[in-house]
Amino acid sequence: MISKSAVDISRRHFVASGSLVVAAAWLLPNRLWAQEGSLVENARKEGISAKVTLQKLRGNVSALLGAGGNIAVLTGRDGKLLVDAGFATSRQQVSDALNTISPDPIKHLINTHWHFDHTDGNEWIHKAGATIVAHGNTRKHLSTATRVEGWNYTFPASPAGAIPAKVFDEKQALHLNGTPLVLEHYEPAHTDSDISVNFADADIFHTGDTWWNGFYPFIDYSTGGSIDGMIRATELNLTKVGDKTIVIPGHGPIGNKSDLALFRDVLTETRERVAALKKQGKSVQEVIAAKVSARYDEKWGGLFMSPAQFISLVYQGV
């Protein structure tokens, strides 16, 4: 498991020095951050001084945590393969960590979805020699200006080098560094571009942001996400992993099937309670005040997403 300090660093990247808790935001459930671009800009700034933690997993697979979304690294004769790119502003720390793993050049990059904390590093990693692979919707969103209402931010089109060169629709099999890899698209969940990456021989499974280990997740309704989609994706993930599988979440510490099952329980229980109150005609403010997720809030709501923010997202989707 990663250290508490590494989790705190990852939290600071995403929550941007406490500016997320903005009371006025709850007047509009789809507007979580009232200050234009505050989360995105602050996260990128904090990436400059981020501490990146290297965690050896199994076989020739490692993970880098702390520079945005969790990055998986597969080494070998075909060159390094990275799953997700983190923040561009954390380039030096990521490069240093990669160099401690092996001298293999970077040759391959897979994006689990299009969000900036997973793709900002695409351009420099491509310039280093990587071919970028992703779902077609990731290329679509990176190729044009894309609005995320929940972050109150419009992302401009990415530079040409950051755009995935190879895309697929539902499933893609790769064989690199002596390891079979299976990339599989989810139905819309966190976004409409989410994929999983299965390192079959090592029994390691990267969920991207369909799983946030120990944190309430952000759900991007602007590009196809929903609470029901997140629950469906989590149920699917549980069918893909075994008791000994190492599971890499998009955010949070490396975990296992039991951790993933708890995430499913938190999502489904919260959804049911919010839906019941909304059906009774309760406003989002009233549902937040009801503290329907109280038994999880101390652990799950203290870092990436506050309980009020998460309840607002669930309310939007039921």
Q: Which of 21-25, 114-118, 214-218 has the lowest mean pLDDT?
A: 21-25
- CA dist 54 → 7, 22, 96, 128 (Å): 13, 34, 10, 20
pLDDT reported for residue 32? 52
- CA dist 255 → 101, 207, 259, 265, 279 (Å): 21, 11, 6, 16, 35
Query: What DSSP character marks residue 303?
Result: S
Residue 28: band (very low, low, confident or very high) from pLDDT cuts 50, 70, 90: very low
Over the stretch 247-293, which tens digit does the pLDDT of each residue have? Answer: 999 999 999 999 999 999 999 999 999 999 999 999 999 999 999 99
pLDDT reported for residue 21? 31
pLDDT reported for residue 68? 95
Q: Which of 16-30, 38-52, 141-155 has the lowest mean pLDDT?
A: 16-30
d(CA 54, CA 209): 19
pLDDT reported for residue 269? 98
Average pLDDT score over residue span 192-202: 97
pLDDT reported for residue 35? 53
Average pLDDT score over residue span 157-166: 98
Average pLDDT score over residue span 102-129: 97
pLDDT reported for residue 1? 36
pTM over 0.85: yes
pLDDT reported for residue 26? 31
Average pLDDT score over residue span 35-48: 83
Chain-centre distance of CA 18, in angstroms?
20
What percent of the chain lies above the pLDDT cut of 90?
A: 86
Residue 37: band (very low, low, confident or very high) from pLDDT cuts 50, 70, 90: low
Joined tokens for residue 189: 């969940």
Answer whether residue 138 shows pLDDT above 80: yes
Q: Which of 35-49, 100-114, 157-171 has the lowest mean pLDDT?
A: 35-49
pLDDT reported for residue 8? 42
What domains can you pick out in the chain, each with its CATH number? 4-266 (3.60.15.10)
Continuous segment of H or E residues that includes residue 122: helix 122-127
Look at residues 37, 9, 39, 3 and name the one whose alpha carbon lies nearest to residue 21.
Answer: 39
pLDDT reported for residue 39? 86
